[in-house]
């Protein structure tokens, strides 16, 4: 099964191509302008490096958020178009989950992911990580909380040297992380900036794991995860104001 994986939830556009066993190509670029054109160029380059054409792809996997509203729209619109033209299914995955599948320090067994959601709020989730590359287990649903509420949740979930925090909102919470208690020998670790954003390896692993436990959807049914539903005017089908 050949995957084309895309995530545009952060300031980076990230692409990976591979199957269940190996990632063949990947790329990540920081875009401030012309992001749509740049994403297509990145997809084209990864396909060429993998010696594949669009018709060779079996599943289009895409990060559906939460994250940048504009970035998500660009990424999903691009994947919808590619999947519709190819008549292939789409596989949605959480953009926060991709950070848990990054190449992280082995000691980070319990991981908090916190991403700036603006308005003094953060997107977040918690994960348990095993020794294997795909050994990631979700501990809660993705959430949106004010920074004060998020701080309490983080302090309650992360303790000891086996815990770590990542994501671009990490600096907000480092001073509040709990110190040693009981048998814990050290505070949780705040991971450095190189671990804060999705990577080609991370989105490919997320897609492979998602394919093992979730079904695909058609391009028409592919939707972003907006945790600010009122701001984005997202309403259940058939309902109006």
CA 166 – CA 136 distance, rounded (Å): 15
Q: Which band of pLDDT confidence, cut at 50, 70 and 90, is reported for residue 215?
A: confident
pLDDT given for residue 181 in this prediction: 56
**Which one has a higher pLDDT value, 213 or 240?**
213
pLDDT of amino acid 230: 67
Per-residue pLDDT band for 240 (boundaries 50, 70, 90) equals very low
Counting Cα atoms < 13 Å in the Cβ hemisphere of 116 gives 11
Q: Which residue do the tokens 């991709």 mark?
A: 98
Q: How much is the mean pLDDT over the chain? A: 89
Mean pLDDT, range 93-112, rounded to an integer: 94
Query: Is the peptide bond between 202 and the residue preceding it cis, with omega within 30 degrees of 0?
Result: no
| 106 — pLDDT class (breaks 50, 70, 90) | confident
% of the chain with per-residue pLDDT over 70: 90
The lowest-confidence range among 18-32, 43-57, 125-139, 218-232 is: 218-232
Q: Residues 107-158: pLDDT tens digits?
A: 889 999 999 999 899 999 999 998 877 889 999 999 999 999 999 999 889 9
Could you tell me whether strands 163-166 and 110-118 are parallel, antiparallel, or unpaired per DSSP bridges? parallel
pLDDT for 32? 67
Q: What is the pLDDT of residue 176?
A: 83
Rounded to whole angstroms, the Cα distance separating 74 from 78 reads: 6
pLDDT: which is higher, 36 or 39 = 39
pLDDT of residue 235: 53
Please return the burial class of 33, using the count of CB atoms within 10 Å of its CB with bins 0-12, 13-18 and 19+: exposed
What pLDDT score does 42 carry?
94
């Amino acid at each position: 099964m050949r995957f084309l994986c895309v995530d545009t939830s952060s300031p980076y556009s990230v692409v990976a191509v591979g199957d269940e066993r190996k990632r063949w190509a990947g790329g990540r670029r920081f875009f401030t302008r012309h992001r749509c054109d740049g994403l297509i160029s990145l997809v084209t380059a990864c396909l060429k490096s993998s010696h594949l054409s669009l018709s060779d792809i079996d599943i289009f996997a895409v990060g559906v958020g939460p994250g940048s509203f504009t970035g998500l729209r660009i990424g999903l619109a691009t994947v919808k178009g590619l999947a519709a033209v190819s008549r292939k299914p789409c596989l949605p995955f959480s953009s926060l989950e991709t950070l848990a599948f990054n190449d992280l320090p082995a000691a980070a067994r319990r991981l908090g992911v916190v991403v700036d959601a603006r308005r003094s709020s953060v997107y977040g989730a918690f994960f348990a990580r095993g020794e294997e590359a795909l050994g990631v287990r979700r501990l809660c649903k993705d959430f949106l909380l004010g920074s004060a509420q998020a701080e309490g949740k983080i302090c309650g979930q992360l303790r000891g040297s086996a815990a770590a925090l990542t994501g671009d909102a990490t600096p907000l919470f480092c001073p509040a992380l709990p110190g040693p208690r009981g048998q814990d020998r050290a505070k949780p670790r705040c991971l450095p900036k190189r671990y804060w954003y999705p990577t080609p390896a991370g989105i490919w692993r997320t897609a492979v794991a998602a394919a093992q436990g979730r079904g695909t959807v058609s391009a028409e049914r592919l939707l972003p995860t907006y945790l600010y539903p009122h701001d984005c005017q997202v309403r259940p089908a058939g309902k109006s104001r």
